[in-house]
Structure 1
Amino acid sequence: MANETTGQPTRFGYELLRDHVIPDILGKHEDDILYWAGKEIARKFPVFSVDEVPQFFKEAGWGTLVRVSSGKEEIDYELTDRLESPATEDAFSLESGFLAEQHQIANGCLTECYGSRDADTGRIVLQVRWDETYNLGD
């Protein structure tokens, strides 16, 4: 369904797919498949720099992504303004896979991302971690 004024997809249409259709199709493998789907989306829509990833999140309707900390082999992001319903409240696999692959492309090292909701604050944190000893170019 689309909003008659803007022509953009409605929240209802998004929720139908994300909360009902996809879980029914993927079953118990939903998180794993969505993570790999996020990686595939990153391969098909690579950014020139990881600094462009927050804009991609915004355009994709995934929410507002803000870098909150970084280190030698890690970056933590906070995800806000996300469309949520009870079924997607703690589902971050698609977004995590996308972030992992974008960073892996950028740094050339084996990279993973873990998403979680802080139980105390309710904040969504996406933790990107890579290992420079596993350089994919070698």
Structure 2
Amino acid sequence: MDEKDHSHVTSFGYELIRDHVLTSILGKHEKDILYWAGKELARKFPLYSMDEASSFFSEAGWGSLVLDKTTKDSAFYSLQTVNLPSSGASRSHRLEAGFLAEQQQKVGGFLTECYDEQVKKNGVVHFQIKWDLKSIK
């Protein structure tokens, strides 16, 4: 099997798990559980800086992550999903949001949350990472 065939199988397998199995198993708690799972993934795969997040997202097959802007207590990212199948049109991106929140919290040292909003037209998901400058983790 050549590399191209292998990546197609991996993409299909990922779609099966992410868009069908997890949704079925997690039910109404899917978004909350995926968020905390993303935070756990961040603890197992720590980044040294948020600059590494784009590379991690690409290697994980989550898509192309771009930092749009930062403020004193927030960062705004856009994620261009990679070949999101029609079955993934309603996919929750709370896994990715939890991952970003935990990485920022570790790097910045402040309590952090991440919010996501999918723009369905072009497959872009926007994330706002917000940290509390009055808190120290």
Q: What's the TM-score, normalizing by structure 2?
A: 0.89
Q: Please list every run of 5 or more consecutive structure 1 residues that lacks an aligned counterpart in the other structure.
A: none
Deviation of 1:17 (Å): 0.5
> 1:118 deviation in Å?
3.5
Aligned-residue CA RMSD (Å): 1.7
- Given that residues 89 and 120 in structure 2 are in contact (C-alpha distance below 8 angstroms), is that contact kept between their aligned partners in structure 1? no
Q: Which residue number in structure 1 is paired with residue 126 of structure 2? A: 125
Matches within 5 A, 1:54-133: 54-90=54-90, 91-118=92-119, 123-133=124-134
Partners in 1 of 2:40 and 2:70 — Cα distance?
Answer: 25
Distance 1:13 1:120 in 2: 25
Residue identity in the other structure for 2:63:
G
1:114 partner letter: Y
More helix by share: 2
Measure, in 1, the Cα distance between the counterparts of 2:48 and 2:123: 31
CA shift, 1:84, in A, is 1.8
Structure 2 Cα separation of the partners of residues 21 and 130 of structure 1: 33
Q: Could you tell which deviates more after superposition, 115-124 or 78-87?
A: 115-124
Q: Rate the CA distance shift 1:26–1:92 in 2: closer, same or farther, 3 A.
A: same
Deviations for 1:53-95, whole angstroms, at most 9, x for unmatched residues? Answer: 1100000000000000110000000001434234433411000
State the number of aligned residues. Answer: 133
Residue 44 (structure 2) aligns with: 44
Residue 106 of structure 1: how far off its partner (Å): 0.6
- Which stretches of structure 1, 4 residues or more, deviate above 6 A after TM superposition? none
Q: Which runs of 5+ in 2 are unaligned?
A: none
Letter in 2 for 1:135: I
Distance 1:51 1:130 in 2: 17
Q: Taking structure 1 as reference, are residues 15 and 35 closer, same or farther at Cα in structure 2, changes over 3 Å only? A: same
Identical residues among aligned pairs (%): 48
TM score, norm. by length of structure 1: 0.88
Does the Cα contact within 8 Å between 2:81 and 2:125 map onto a contact in 1? Answer: no
Q: Tell me, yes or no, if the aligned pair for 2:58 and 2:64 is still in contact at 8 Å.
A: yes
Deviation of residue 121 (structure 1)? 6.3
